[in-house]
Amino acid sequence: MDWAILGPTRFYIYDLNGDHKEDLVVLPEFYSSPVFYIRNNSGFTPAKNIFFDIPVKASFLNIDDFNKDGIADILVAAHYQKQN
Return d(Cα 58, Cα 10) in angstroms, integer.
10
pLDDT in tens, 51-68: 888 889 999 999 999 999
Do the strands 43-47 and 60-64 form a parallel or antiparallel pair, or are they unpaired? Answer: unpaired
Strands 10-14 and 23-27, sheet pairing: antiparallel
**Residue percentage of the chain with pLDDT more than 70:** 85
Q: Are 40 and 62 in contact (CB under 8 A)?
A: no
**Closest to 60 in 3D by CA, of 27, 36, 19, 24:** 27
The model's pTM: 0.79
